[in-house]
Every structure is written in structure tokens, then in C-alpha cells.
Structure 1
Amino acid sequence: MKEDKLIPVTSVTNGLGQTVADNLYCFTNQVVNLCFYEFPGRSKEWVLIDAGMPKSAEIIRETADQHFGKNHTPQAIILTHGHFDHVGAVEELAEIWKVPVYAHEQEMPYLTGAKDYPEPDTSVEGGFVAKMSRMFPNEGIDLGEKVQTLPEDGTVPEMEGWCWVHTPGHTPGHISFFHEEDRTLIAGDAFVTVKQEYLYKVMMQKKEISGPPRYLTTDWEAARASVEQLKDLDPQLAVTGHGLPMEGTELKQALETLVQRFDDIAIPDHGKFV
């Protein structure tokens, strides 16, 4: 297990959580969201979706204990992708809980120590978070045999009724999760609801539709196609990796605007991946 360092960014929603849909609880760890999903009709059986910032294992465990009790560990940890702010506690939690971790096949090299992500692009258009991204870890992690590839049929282990959707662009193996019955979307960083490049907007959690965080997104045409794919699902509620949940007419109109104006809203004017 590599030595993690605390990343000094936070927001007004740090440590706060809310139930956003039946059996789905969204929790903000500093500036990133993760989800606790409890199986309908199976009390205290649950999965964790994404694993927060570095040094966050203790607060994630405490939050889980408050919801499910100390003797109710999850059935699995499922990752939207492997960036540092979504896997910060995954190595420690997987070891403590003795549970499998699932991710997309194309994300596996970054979760098994085979590859590192490209370094964050500090030259990208944006504010202070973009400029300070040089301190963000880009190294892959090594989960060894703990990490498994998601089923090819689109089903999500331990999450009946949900499907995973391949939404690359931000990373090659980025995925989102969709529950068709109530049209709930867990989008990861395929799109977000805060301008993640700007420190003040991140700290205050100013809600506005945006593309994936610019300083870590490497394929903008794939990112565009992923947003179009998610819009076509017609979600009624979206929990994103960064920012506040969005739903109903606000979400529908925001996604339509993002698709129509993707070049203006999402793609930076300059940066090494543009």
C-alpha cells in the first residue's frame, strides 16, 4: 500500500450526506462524493460506490457504522474510475473489510500497478484548483487480486436492477451507473455539477452543469460522446462525483445545454489534452 498524503482542499459540504433516492445515500468527503447503496429488502446489506480522498478511510468507516452498524461490512466496493479522489481509501478499506473491488476492464491497469495516469494538466484553462493540480497524485494503485472486472453484460454485482455504462473520456475505463426503474444516475466524473477547476466555486459548491474536471480529462471527444449517452438515458436524478445532486427539470435542461454547448462549457480553450 502506497503512502497517501492529505490533499488540502475542502468545501462547505465536507462531511455532510443526504438520502437522494430509495436506499441511496450520498456523502461528501472534502470535495468528492461517494455513495452507500443498501439492498432493497435486505437490511444492513450494502455496497460502497467510490472510496473518497486520500486519508479518508476512517471517516468512511464511521459513516458506514452510523448507517449499518459496526458488524455490517459491505458486500463490495465498486469504482467509477481510479483517480486519486475516488480511490483514496480503497486499499485500506478493501483490506479491513475483506471485500472485492470491481471496476471496468480498461481501468484495471491503473488499479493493479501496471500504469500511472498522465500527470494533471496545470496549463489547462481554469482557476486555482487547476493550477494546484500539480500536487494531485497521478500514480496508479495496486489492489492485486482484490480487484475484479465488472461483468461484460452490464450488470452490477450486488446491485440488482442497476447497470453500468461505459463513459470514457475522463479516463479510459470510466463508468456510470443507472437504475432504470426510477431513472437514477450515478455519473461519477462523466459530468459534474460544479466548476471543479475554480477554488471558490468548489469551496462554496456553486451548482452548475459542467463537463468532467479539465485538469485530469485526456480524451474530449470520448467525453462528449459519454455525456450524450447519459443524456439519452433521460435520468430524473443525477449524483455526480463533484457537486450537488441535480434532478427533474433542472437536470434535463442542464444536460441538454451541456450537450448543445459542450465545446463552450466543457472543453477548455487551451491545455495539453485539447
Structure 2
Amino acid sequence: MEKITLIDEKIYKKWFAVAPGVWGIHDVLVNMYLIHQPANNSWVLVDAGLKTSAHKIIQVARHLFWPQVTPSAIILTHGHFDHTGALPALLKEWDVPVYAHYLEAPYLTGRSAYPPPDPSAGGGLMTLLSWTFPRQGINLNGHLLMLPEDGSIPGLEGWRYIHTPGHTPGHISLYREHDQVLLAGDAFVTTQSEALSHVITQSKKISGPPKYFTPDWISAESSVKKLAALQPRTVATGHGKPLAGQAMQRQLLLLAENFEKAARPTSGRYVEEAAVAGVNGVEYIPPANNTRWWLLAGAFALAVAGIWYARKPANNSYDA
């Protein structure tokens, strides 16, 4: 029998309670969630974070669910690199099915890459750096299964999934009816994910999906309105801290009602024209807004140069 080990103190500080039977793990900039099913003492993992997240997930699972350390399934809200990074390591440890929406399948079987990130969308340093973020999918052949079309989630009684496209074509959110707990993925987030300072401090603010990685703003707005209409009591998202209560509900409703001004970029690659995707992956990508991108890159370079020059030690020597 595997020896029980105490959870690493640093990892322990990175996990948190969301609601009864629901816990989250934070790793660098993204969250993953663990949901317990007391009826049969099983649990499900929602999203798989970064490549660095595997050890944290396994350690927290041992702490919470021993001896039932292996989940019954892994559910993906979507397939971006920061939600699937630990899957190769986890699937070596756990031979379990991975469920996703069928429109997400092309990016989870290696058939298609996501549309390019948009560093011209504005909003902060994370946006400017987004051109470096991986957009290639992952190949989960042998593990990937499609979610049922009736909205049910295998292994999660009392929960249903809601198709919330926009951030990706097959993005889903998870909802537990009896206590109105919503795991929204990146359909909306609870921090300003475009600004590095907000990502680091995890400042609390209901915000739209990350601007730099959202290629369909019409669908994104529709998805936020759909989730706000649920009037969830507790929300936990892919980025930011879980929030609850009436203040959160008001913020979410305001976001839905004022999405055009509050969430949608004023300019960028996908603002006027969305990327088009189907069952085989991406079918059309609008041309890049290169002029705005180079202006932003130039402004960023000047800002870095200015900071460097300001911190450069003064040369007080002079020739007599």
C-alpha cells in the first residue's frame, strides 16, 4: 500500500475551499477544482492547470480523498495550455477518462490549433506578452470522451454543464443547482487577467474572459448573460479567487448588462470579426492588426528603456 505523506506546506497554502465538497488549487496564474461525491466516495478533477500543476494536484488529492486518490474522471472547461498542462503527467499516474465538449475535441486530439492570441487587444502586460503563449492543442487520444448532449456530467450527480462559447468554441461551465455554485472556467473571471499586477495580487473583480485569448466576442457576451441569469450564489473561475454573495451577483449582472464597454476590447484582431471554428477546428482567422501591435510593442519597449535609464547609476565624474 502506498505510504501516506503529509502535504507539502507550500502546496497546502495554494488550495482553498469553494463550497461544500468543492476545493480549488491555485498554481501561478490559474485554478483547478476538485469535487467530491459523498454518495460513492468518488471525486472529479475540473481542469489540469499548467505543466507544474501535476504534483500539487496529486498531493492535494491525497490530503483530501485518501485512500480514494484516483479521480473517477477529469472534466475540461476548455483546452488552453493553462488548463491542460498537467494532463500528460496526471494520465500516467491515473488511467481515467477526460471529458470535454465535442467542439473542443479538435484541440484535444491534435487536429487543430487555437486562433492566435491577440497582443493588440490592450489591457496590460499579460496582453502584450500573449504572443508568447502556446496555442497548440494536446493529443488525448485514448482518454478523451465527449460530454453527453443532455448537459449531464459523468461522475457528478447534481451538476450540469452549460455550453459557454466565446473564449473557445467548446468552452463549458459547471453548475450545481441546489446551492447555486458555478465553476465558470474562463467564460468570465474574478480578477483582471490582462494586468500582471492583478494576476499576481489576485485582486477581486468580476471581469470578462481574458481579452488576449478570446476570438469570438459575440458568443462571449451571450455566454456571460447566460451565466448571470442563473444568479449564482458562489462563483469560482479559471483565474482569480472564488466570490460569493450579493455584491458578486451585482457585479456579474453589471458585467452582463454592460459587456460591450466593460469587457469587449475597443480594438483588436477579433473585435470586428470573430474567428470561425467547427467540428474540425479553426476554419477562418481574421487578419492581424499589425499596426496597433507594433505601436503597443514600441510603447512597451520605450517604457522598459525609460525604467532602465531612470535606475541607471549617475556618472558624477568629470574631467578637470
Residue 184 (str. 1) matches residue 188 (str. 2)? no
8 A contact 1:170–1:217 mirrored in 2: yes
Please list the CA deviations of residues 181-234 of structure 1 after superposition, one character each: whole Å capped at 9, or x if unmatched.
Answer: 101100000000111000101111111111000100000000000000001111
Are the aligned partners of 2:125 and 2:195 in contact in 1 as well (CA < 8 Å)? yes
Distance of 1:24 and 1:252 partners within structure 2: 20
CA-to-partner distance for each residue in 1:5-41, whole Å, 9 max, x for gaps? xxxxxxxx99522211110001111111110001023
**Which position in structure 2 is the counterpart of 1:108?**
105
How many residues are matched? 262
CA distance, structure 2, for counterparts of residue 72 and residue 187 of structure 1: 25
Amino acid at match of 1:96: E
Deviation at 1:63, TM superposition (A): 1.5
| Distance in 2, Cα, partners of 1:174 & 1:41 | 28
State the AA in 1 paired with 2:26: T
Look up the equivalent residue of 2:15 and give its one-letter code.
G
Please tell me whether residue 248 in structure 1 is matched to residue 230 in structure 2.
no
* Distance in structure 2 (CA, Å) of the matches to 1:218 and 1:109: 16
Q: TM-score, normalised by structure 2?
A: 0.79
Q: Which residue of 2 aligns with 1:151?
A: 148
The verdict on how the C-alpha distance between 1:19 and 1:127 changes in structure 2, with shifts beyond 3 A counting, is same
- Counterpart for residue 292 of structure 2: none
User: In 2, Cα distance between the equivalents of 1:137 and 1:36?
Assistant: 25
Structure 2 counterpart of 1:245, which letter?
P
Q: Which residue of 1 aligns with 2:115?
A: 118
Instruction: Give the % identical residues.
Output: 46
Bigger Rg, structure 1 or 2: 2
Name the amino acid aligned to 1:89.
A
Tell me, in whole angstroms, the C-alpha distance in 2 between the residues paired with 1:15 and 1:176.
26
Q: TM-score, normalised by structure 1?
A: 0.92
| Equivalent of residue 49 in structure 1, options 46, 56, 66 | 46
What residue number does 1:27 align with? 25
RMSD of Structure 2 on Structure 1 (CA): 1.6
Distance 1:22 1:204 in 2: 26
What amino acid is the match of 1:17?
A: W
User: Which residue of the partner structure matches residue 68 of structure 1?
Assistant: 65
Give the gaps of 5 or more residues in structure 1.
1-12
| Distance (Å, rounded) in 1 between the aligned partners of 2:195 and 2:139 | 31
Q: Among residues 81, 87, 90, which one is paired with 1:93 in the alignment?
A: 90
**As a proportion of its length, which structure holds more helix?**
2
Offset, 1:264: 1.3
Q: Structure 1: which 4+ aligned runs deviate by more than 3 Å? A: none
